[in-house]
């Protein structure tokens, strides 16, 4: 019963008698880790894609995925937020490329009509 009442020994070693505490260096090391950066949700880009280049509803889909990414980020699910954010980014890039191609085609057609190569019916 007396053994059960004894306090456990501390998790450190006792200094030898010939070593004094004044001789030992006094320093403290503190390791600081930066918290991980939250993933991007591309919400503003998706909003502009929805408003100005919503071809085949790609902008609307990108906006939905951006909102889902922001919700996941608020909940602390960074892997889900990263997944939704990367999907929104891919949809935004696809919509942007399609819109650029359509603008280039429109400029070429208008320039050919103005040059007289294509005659309107």
Q: Evaluate whether residue 90 is within a structural domain.
A: yes
Q: What is the pLDDT of residue 65?
A: 97
Q: Which two tokens stand for residue 29?
A: 């090391």
Q: How far is CA 91 from the centre of its chain?
A: 15
Q: Does 108 fall in a domain?
A: yes
Domain membership flag for residue 14: no
Q: Would residue 2 count as lying in a domain?
A: no
- pLDDT given at position 55: 81
Q: What is the mean pLDDT of each run of 10 residues along the chain (121 residues)?
A: 59 73 74 84 94 88 96 93 96 94 94 83 54
- Cβ–Cβ under 8 Å, residues 68 and 84: yes
Reading the block at residue 77, the tokens are: 């699910």
Residue 71 has a CB neighbour count (10 Å cut-off) of 14
Domain carrying residue 75: 57-120
Closest by CA to 50, choosing from 61, 64, 60, is 60
Does residue 24 lie in a domain region? no
* Structural domain contains residue 4: no
- Count how many domains the chain has: 1
Predicted pLDDT of residue 4: 56
């Amino acid at each position: 019963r007396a053994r059960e009442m004894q306090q456990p020994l501390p998790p450190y070693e006792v200094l030898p008698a010939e070593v004094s505490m004044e001789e030992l260096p006094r320093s403290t090391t503190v390791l600081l880790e930066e918290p991980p950066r939250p993933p991007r949700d591309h919400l503003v880009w998706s909003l502009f894609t929805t408003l100005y280049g919503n071809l085949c509803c790609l902008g609307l889909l990108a906006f939905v995925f951006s909102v889902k990414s922001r919700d996941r980020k608020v909940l602390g699910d960074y892997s889900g937020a990263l997944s939704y954010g990367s999907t929104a980014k891919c949809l935004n890039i696809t919509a942007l490329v399609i819109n650029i191609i359509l603008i280039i085609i429109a400029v070429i057609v208008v320039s050919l009509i103005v040059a007289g190569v294509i005659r309107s019916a």
